[in-house]
Amino acid sequence: MISRRVLGRFLLFLATASPLPGAAQVLRSETQGRIDFTSFTPKTMFDLARERRGNWNEQPIWGHLTFPKGASEKVPAVVLMHGSGGIERGMAQWVDAFSEIGVAAFVVDVFEPRGVKRTAENQALVPYSADLMDAFQSLQLLASHPRIDPARIGIMGFSRGGSVAFQSAIEPLRNAVVKSGLRFALHIPVYAGCNQVYWSPRITKAPMLNLVGAEDDYTTAEPCERLAKRYADAGAPIRTIKYPGANHSWDGMYDVFFLPNATSGAPCGVLRWDIELWTITAERTGEAVDPARLAEFFNACVKRGAHVGRNESAFRQSRKDVQAFAREIFFGGK
């Protein structure tokens, strides 16, 4: 259950977050709540991967940091990346779940600082590279906090944010932003978008927990199951759990409904960007896709409409699964 204390504090954060973030804060032992910091908006993932910094527009953003009650020593932390609906009320459930086991949670707001409410109907409103950049900047920010153990910072993402939870384990992408050995200690993609894959076999090999819904007709489960195998073959310890009866956003605070204008690339099959050569391959046919024809490629296959909403059984089990995974990695199973 969501504690009233956590939910109330989180909703206050949502109500008071303005689209005009201030200067970056100096982190002290007592620093929590809203934290303003600097990120960037690379125009494309290619600009991020190739460090074309002239195309990285500086962007002030913010996140909300919650420490577990009573923590006196350095604690682990998890960066929470929202989906295309922006930060929804259900995120407080995960803040509460991590607090319960002694883990700090940092909810990053990718959209509001960039003047966007949601991208479900048009994912191009915020480039995917911005989400990944914000995740890496959050990692570096938390590593500087006096009360957080930099060796025990993980990432969990939902839908669009779930893609980031996968991508942030790719070394060429991490190295483009993080100029040190700092890396995420664990990755938890939740109903992730796995139909557009940025890939290199050079990965961090940090443990992963891949959570998918059997009835997901938005991002769908099958491509994420295949992507998990790709990571496993490259050396990452990864487990996939599929929840029966679960639609997309099974942790949402609303009943299942049909979202008619949600855009889904699932009918297109998996499109794979191989980072080293930056070749693009449609895995269903094996054909190479000219970057100049990407819009034409997607226009021919993208569909609209998907079911989203809560599945109580799936949420309760996924909460237990996430807590068990975090305990194992952060605390040796204790």
| Percent above pLDDT 70 for the chain | 92
Domain tally, the chain: 1
In a domain, 10, yes or no: yes
Whether the Cβ atoms of residue 258 and residue 305 lie closer than 8 Å to each other = yes
Confidence at residue 24, expressed as pLDDT on a 0 to 100 scale: 55
CATH number (domain holding residue 71)? 3.40.50.1820
Rounded CA gap, 251 and 243, in Å?
Answer: 12
- pLDDT, one tens digit per residue, over 142-162 is 999 999 999 999 999 999 999
Confidence at residue 70, expressed as pLDDT on a 0 to 100 scale: 83
- pLDDT, one tens digit per residue, over 233-249 is 999 999 999 999 999 99
Domain span holding position 183: 4-253+313-331
With cut-offs at 50, 70 and 90, classify the pLDDT of residue 72.
confident
Rounded CA gap, 65 and 99, in Å?
Answer: 11
Mean pLDDT of the chain: 93
Residue 221 CA, distance from chain mean position:
16
Rounded CA gap, 142 and 32, in Å?
Answer: 11
Q: Is the pLDDT reported for residue 199 higher than 80?
A: yes
- pLDDT, one tens digit per residue, over 88-123 is 999 999 999 999 999 999 999 999 999 999 999 999
Report, as an integer, the average pLDDT of 258-273.
95
In a domain, 296, yes or no: no
Q: Mention every residue, 6+ apart, whose C-beta is less than 8 A from residue 152.
A: 75, 76, 77, 185, 329, 330
In a domain, 208, yes or no: yes
Rounded CA gap, 234 and 201, in Å?
Answer: 6
Mode of pairing for the β-strands spanning 279-282 and 287-288: antiparallel
In a domain, 164, yes or no: yes
Q: Is the pLDDT reported for residue 321 higher than 80?
A: yes
In a domain, 286, yes or no: no
- pLDDT, one tens digit per residue, over 275-300 is 999 999 999 999 999 999 999 999 99
pTM of the full structure: 0.92
